[in-house]
């Protein structure tokens, strides 16, 4: 008997992202606050106990349908971790721009893991699920929680934060991607010096950015990205002038976001975005809302 679930894989923004020195494993130490937003890919996940293998189809021609795809890899990793012997069928409808810093591929992978658990009833322990997600990518684990999440380590060490009230969120995508590897390499000697214990205090002066308010979102990648693409810096300034509570590059780019208290402010800001950019008008998703809306 084939079982199927329809799911949403939501995007994220980074409300602050600080990059420190390289770790022994070759990754950079980071601090970030992830926030899920209501821009989503769609996934259809099916299990067929009497069939074999994994198959993936997508509406995006540029996406691989094989082991290079994070969704395929997530299904394969889950299958090996749980010992599931049946077939897995996956359909992915992409809506989140790729290479934008919005975590679309990571969210797709996390949602695949959660959907397979839901369908099979074979639920891993929470820490085992986190470890499995971290093998797929640094920001995959955050999507197992949703809402507002502190990310440490290489981003995979996650701590749920108290949610802020839902806000209107404008996401502006210029239509090109930024290489994350190139962005990290470019930081070079400009990396923030890590002067404190890596056990960051959630409340207090040792935080590298505000954790209990939207506040200014300091993203260490902005100096490199804005120097190469000055139009991004110009649009960010416009978003702030339109009344944003916070505005920033997300991840290493190339998308910008701005958070507004009112839809009127958001619409005014959206009217100033270049006509050839993609604009998404969404809401931030607190944890309870995120979890409730995962499945269609």
Query: Over the chain, what HEC string results?
Result: CCEEEEEEEEEEEEEEEEEEEECCCCCEEEEEEEEEEEEEEEEEEEEECCCCCEEEEECCCCCCCCCCCHHHHHHHHHHHHHCCCCEEEEEEECCCCCCCCCCHHHHHHHHHHHHHHHHHCCCCCHHHHHHHHHHHCCCCCHHHHCCEEEEECCCCEEEECCCCCCCEEEEEECCCCCCHHHHHHHHHHHCCCCCCCCCCCCCCCCCCCCCCCCCCCCECCHHHHHHHCHHHHHHHHHHHHCCCCEEEECCCCCCEEEEECCHHHHHHHHCCCCCCCEEEEEEECCHHHHHHCCEC
Q: What is the mean pLDDT of residues 170-181?
A: 94
* Residues in a beta bridge with 148: 35
Q: How confident is the model at residue 180 (pLDDT cuts 50, 70, 90)?
A: confident
How far is the CA of 68 from the CAs of 46, 64, 213, in angstroms?
20, 6, 38
- Range with lowest mean pLDDT among 33-47, 50-64, 97-111, 177-191: 177-191
Active site residue 22: no
CATH superfamily of 168-287: GHMP kinase, C-terminal domain (3.30.70.890)
**Opening angle at CA 294, ends 288 and 296, nearest 5:** 125
**Mean residue pLDDT across the chain:** 91
CATH top-level class of 3-162: alpha beta
- Range with lowest mean pLDDT among 48-57, 74-83, 183-192: 183-192
- Examine the pLDDT at 236 and tell me if it is beyond 90: yes
The pLDDT value recorded for residue 66 is: 86
Q: How confident is the model at residue 17 (pLDDT cuts 50, 70, 90)?
A: very high
- Examine the pLDDT at 195 and tell me if it is beyond 50: no
Query: What is the residue extent of each domain of the chain?
Result: 3-162, 168-287
Catalytic hit among 3, 22, 76, 139: 139
Q: What is the mean pLDDT of residues 3-8?
A: 98
Catalytic hit among 12, 108, 220, 236: 12
The pLDDT value recorded for residue 278 is: 98
- Examine the pLDDT at 285 and tell me if it is beyond 90: yes
- Examine the pLDDT at 199 and tell me if it is beyond 60: no
Q: What is the mean pLDDT of residues 6-27?
A: 92
Rounded Cα–Cα distance for residues 30 and 220 (Å) = 10
- Examine the pLDDT at 196 and tell me if it is beyond 60: no
Q: How confident is the model at residue 185 (pLDDT cuts 50, 70, 90)?
A: confident
Rounded Cα–Cα distance for residues 81 and 128 (Å) = 9
Active site residue 163: no
pLDDT over 90 percentage in the chain: 79
The pLDDT value recorded for residue 208 is: 63
The pLDDT value recorded for residue 161 is: 94
- Examine the pLDDT at 21 and tell me if it is beyond 90: no
């Amino acid at each position: 008997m084939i079982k199927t679930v329809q799911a949403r894989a939501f995007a994220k923004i980074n409300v602050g992202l600080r990059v420190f020195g390289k770790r022994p494993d070759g990754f950079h130490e980071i601090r970030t606050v992830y926030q899920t937003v209501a821009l989503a890919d769609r996934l259809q996940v099916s299990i067929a106990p009497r069939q074999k293998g994994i198959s993936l189809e997508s509406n995006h021609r540029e996406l691989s349908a094989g082991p290079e795809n994070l969704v395929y890899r997530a299904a394969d990793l889950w299958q090996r971790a749980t010992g599931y012997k049946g077939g897995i069928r996956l359909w992915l409808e992409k809506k989140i721009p790729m290479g934008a810093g919005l975590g679309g591929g990571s969210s797709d992978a996390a949602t695949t893991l959660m959907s397979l658990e839901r369908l099979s009833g074979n639920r891993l322990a929470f820490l085992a699920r986190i470890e499995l997600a971290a093998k797929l990518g640094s920001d995959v684990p955050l999507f197992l929680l949703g809402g507002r999440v502190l990310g440490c380590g290489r981003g995979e060490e996650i701590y749920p934060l108290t949610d802020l009230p839902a806000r209107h969120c404008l996401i502006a995508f210029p239509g090109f991607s930024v290489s994350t590897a190139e962005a990290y390499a470019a930081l070079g000697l400009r990396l923030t010096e890590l002067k404190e214990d890596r056990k960051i205090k959630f409340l207090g002066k040792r935080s590298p950015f505000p954790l209990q308010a939207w506040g200014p979102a300091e993203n260490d990648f902005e100096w490199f990205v804005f120097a190469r693409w000055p139009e991004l810096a110009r649009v960010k300034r416009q978003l702030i002038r339109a009344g944003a509570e916070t505005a920033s590059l997300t991840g290493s780019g190339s998308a910008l976001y701005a958070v507004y208290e009112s839809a009127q402010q958001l619409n005014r800001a959206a009217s100033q975005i270049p006509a050839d950019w993609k604009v998404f008008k969404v809401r931030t998703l607190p944890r309870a809302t995120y979890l409730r809306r995962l499945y269609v």
